[in-house]
Structure 1
Amino acid sequence: MLFKKQIQKCVIIGSGPAGYSSAIYAARADLNPIIFLGFQPGGQLTTTTRIDNYLGFPSGISGKNFMENCKIQAERFNTKIINKSVINVSLSNKKGGIHRIFLEKKEEYVESIGIIIATGSRPKFLEIEKEKKFMGLGVSFCATCDGFFHKEKDVAVIGGGDSALEEVNYLAKICKKVYLIVRKDYLKASKILQYHISKKNNISILFSSKITEIIGDNFLEGIKIFNHKNKTSSTLLISGLFIAIGHIPNTEIFKKELDLDERGYIIVKKGSTITNKPGVFASGDVQDPNYRQAITSAGTGCMAALDLERYLSLCNY
């Protein structure tokens, strides 16, 4: 399928909450959006067993069903949904200029006046056996998303930076015991976060340690830990393992086209989704290293569609 002869007004790259939210708003504004699903249609939420903290779902909903609902809603407003990945972009520097979006085949591309980037981010993995198998079955990358399922139980967090300690602080309020597993012999996190966890009695920090094995057949039952300082191994029986060693924004194809911060996140104008290229907007986790929640991603998806609508109006489209 080729789009060479027709210039679009709105192309959305990515299909998580940010992508579908922007599609719904753009479609209702008669921008006739096209959304490219990418390598993981529905984004990270499709691997989440249960969502209990999204507004409007009092009984909760599975991540897969939630994203399917988002897709159905976008289709209701005639969003064109294409199951392809974008492999490269060529972005114009001119106001009202035409951007080119290249698809999986080099000769296949789309041209558009406006682009909304919603490619999200991906968590860093430990790269050990059963880690990916047990995602949503005890292994998680988000305490605020999944911590509730481990209320009054023992859990572990791995990491030593701010994100890890924020996870620990949250979990310590609802869990019986929280183990913080740190690969180094010190914490990288800010002093204020270190101070907060030092005041909690149900947190145990295991320095110079790494996870060598995930225990369980059908779901997480525990982990084996090796302390490389004293050369000892131990086993922790836990119901949840929260991996907080960082995220990687999916911005590889934008490195030569957009301004990124030192971690690779797209830089947007404060209070907006506007990037350094006219007509290009970024929403969701790809420009948000702090919150990384479905509801905040959906909110910035709405913002991106509204920002694009205003842009097109100023360009007399």
Structure 2
Amino acid sequence: MKLIEHELVDRYIYYLQRYIPYDKQEAAKEDFLNILRDRLPEIYTEEDIKKELNRMGNPYEFAGAYSDSGNFLLSGKNYEIFKAFLKILSISALLGLVAFTFNYFRRFQGTNLFDILKSLVVSIFILSLLPSWICEKIKTTKILKALMDEWDIENLYESKKLKLEVYEIGLLMVKFSMYFMLQVYILTASINISKATYFFVMFLFFINVLSVNIKFSENTIFSKTMYVEYFVDIFSIISLIFLTSYHMPRVFGTNIIILCNIVNLVLNSYTISKSKNILLSRKKRKKNRKRNKKDRD
């Protein structure tokens, strides 16, 4: 078995790369593997690996050399996620505005276009920055807690990185663009749609962005963040059905958002079930290794 394929090494690398910028992750991984190879004997056992990993210390300490200071709000990978979401939300806002124009062009009459554009720009910035800032606080709390605890390789739980597919980005952009379209729809409404309804729709938009942001930041399918997104999808579906039943007209944008949430629920259900299967298989392998070791002894 190659060193990189060893379960403990895989866990260490995951935590090492977890919060550092994407462009430095491979360099950090190679440096770590080179150091570990130099320290291990030519023929090594699992105990040798465990001993050396414990000697190397907490992976968050090792990762410190590869983390950018960023700015006073965000650092490392979260700063990159912020920039990515700034682009995604900007494109989504443009698509939402185009979709609104094609379907509800007459609603622009008698409205201040500058105020609408200003609202969209403010929304883009807040929805990009605030979720990333929350993720930064979560990251800082987790790292500080990990560094304060007594270090042992067994502290590192099972891990498996998320693989983001192109269609998932597309699904996000469709959902976000419909939220922007819904925002403009409410702002240009000729009927009385309350401010409370508007702010609640924007709150739904925010928690949808936040849940995805947390998932990207944590970057693992073995995490409670998957259940956070699960809850957000269900809550969004129920809330939009309630809103369109009592507080605002049902437009095609809300139907598309609900559909996107349903699709995401299905995808997350598959991911969660897959993660459980991986965990079960790894636990079985671990038990088998212990049993084999006892038999040899």
Q: Calculate the TM-score normalised by the size of structure 2.
A: 0.29
Q: Calculate the TM-score normalised by the size of structure 1.
A: 0.27
Greater helix fraction, Structure 1 or Structure 2: 2
Larger radius of gyration: 2
